[in-house]
Structure 1
């Protein structure tokens, strides 16, 4: 009997990878949803007896989908497939009725093992899942999914170090001219004052800068979590920024390098400005930021007044290598 399968993920790359890693001789009919609202509609239409569900999505996220399925007792077995690998994320989706959790990027073995464990893998001799040529993936989408996975790894490290839950957004990825980057930087923060540090990175054919904007209002709570005496003095604030930057930038770049199968060298982090406006920051540094591929992630910590924005700015010269490295994902 053919099983209706739903893959619910806002990333075209993730949907394509998920479909391609399902067991080839599993008797299924696959449907796709690009956000949680579409996912609920598909489940109600009988297209999602088994659902592979992302967590970070627009319109309606995966947590909301799980809540609705649980509250309305909708007929769906849900396996969460996410880059958010925090232990508390696992606990929350299980409490909301998820069958299990698979870490991105997905592997055929992990999917097959879970399906067999729960007795929902029924193989049909001679029938194979059709390939998914209808799913087109562009550079921006591929970079966004890579950033999503790297973001989750960085958040997991920060969550473990501070014993907190990090609230994750949908990464924003765009190729920007310097004027557009200026507007993007202004839009990242509603705070009147920020402190910032940058750290250069370079690999084979890829180079850029990681820029961390730390909201000044975050220093007090962050210092408490780090068990530092006071957030008032300059040395403590610089220490908070440096420690946060080391975790988020280091883990994020490591996540990118693993997916692109390359290594990055990092320069020493440098404080760009303290207690300044974003305008000041831009005016002082705009000459070195030309056309760039920008990955933007806004990290917030649940129940604390802590917010920081991480931007990875790849040079224009890096785009051909990125295109080449991602080529096997874009077929």
Structure 2
């Protein structure tokens, strides 16, 4: 059996491959984006394609739309953190044979493997204790963010009745000067509304900055989030809290920890400008601030939500220690 695993995350590819019972009859190839996967499918016959949806260069939806690229009947199994009902339905319409959510559990995977006659690695094999291994913190956070975004997008899609385009998270460091420019842009643009929300737990301390803009913003006050007399400010707080909390709940669940959220605060532009001009602005962070950035967009609604999670150096060290204990 020839199996192709396509995912931009090395960790995600490894997670799938580690569950496959290896033997001389099993050949496994890997692709880090959809274009590479299509090229491999043109060159060789694969019985199974495990396909992620959210990838750079060419995403999973584009791969499904481009198939078939040969006469060989490849069974496509979508493995994705995008758990929106509309995403699953779209995949099946485009020809996927099955869909499994990230992070997957053993029982669901066993059923899937049985259906497609994929040998399953024995899960009761005793392991030999070994020294603590180094963890690729950035790669791990990126993959956990992908999964958390899928959960978050699904909840938001239910609330607004719109398919949410899954963003690729940008996990990196942002210099204080760059963040100050971002804040200044929010102040300068009359359409932008910004909300800040602190979070803390298990050695992790940070702040989420949410910026909402677009003509559709006023349209979702409606029957979506609150009651008839809801103010624009209350609606913005509701949206922001949903964006931040849904992401953090999934992110912390993957680490098997609890993270508490403070109340969201609308950042009034006059006060924000005063704060930006102050010498105390961002003093809680190093010059290089660890960030998780992404942008939510509704498919048929003119509204964009830019989200940046800021964390200090101690928080990343705490995440690394947690990862070493759970991976």
TM-score by length of 2: 0.84
- Segments of structure 1 that go 5 or more residues without pairing to the other structure are 129-135
Q: Distance in 1 between matches of 2:104 and 2:38?
A: 23
Give the match for residue 197 of structure 2: 199
Cα distance, 1:29–1:80 mapped onto 2, change above 3 Å: same
Residue 133 of structure 2 corresponds to residue 138 of structure 1: no
Partner of 2:306: 309
Is residue 42 from structure 1 mapped to residue 62 from structure 2 by the alignment?
Answer: no
CA 1:262–1:38: 2 relative to 1, 3 Å: same
Correspondence for 1:148 among 123, 127, 146: 146
**Cα deviation 1:181-236 (Å, max 9, x = unaligned):** 34566799996641111111111111101111111534223224627799xx9x62
Deviates more, 1:288-297 or 1:302-311: 288-297
Task: Select which of 232, 239, 242 maps to 2:237.
Answer: 242
RMSD across aligned positions (CA): 3.3
Superposed CA deviations along residues 241-272 of structure 1, whole A, max 9, x for unmatched, are 11111211111110111011110111111111
- 2:16 aligned to which of 15, 18, 32: 18
Q: Retained in 2: the 8 A contact 1:191–1:215?
A: no
Measured in 2, the distance between the counterparts of 1:165 and 1:75 equals 30
Q: Secondary structure at the match of 2:86?
A: helix
Please state if 1:295 is matched with 2:287.
no
- In 1, Cα distance between equivalents of 2:47 and 2:203: 45
Alpha-carbon distance in 2 for matches of 1:189, 1:11:
36
SS of match in other structure, 1:21: coil
Q: Which residue of 2 aligns with 1:131?
A: none
Alignment of 1:65-214 (within 5 A): 65-70=63-68, 75-118=73-116, 120-121=117-118, 138-182=136-180, 193-214=191-212
Contact 1:55/1:62 (8 A) holds in 2 = yes
2:316 match = 319
* Structure 2 CA distance for partners of 1:260 and 1:226, relative to 1, 3 Å: same
- Work out the CA distance in 1 between the residues paired with 2:253 and 2:121: 35
Determine helix, strand or coil for the equivalent of 2:162.
Answer: coil
SS of the residue corresponding to residue 296 of structure 1 reads strand
Question: TM-score scaled by structure 1?
Answer: 0.83
Q: Distance in 2 between matches of 1:329 and 1:74?
A: 40
Structure 1 Cα separation of the partners of residues 294 and 217 of structure 2 = 19
Count how many residue pairs are aligned between Structure 1 and Structure 2: 314
* Aligned equivalents of 1:318, 1:4: Cα separation in 2: 42
Deviation at 1:288, TM superposition (A): 4.3
Runs of 4+ in 1 over 3 A off after TM superposition: 23-27, 70-75, 122-125, 180-193, 227-230, 278-291
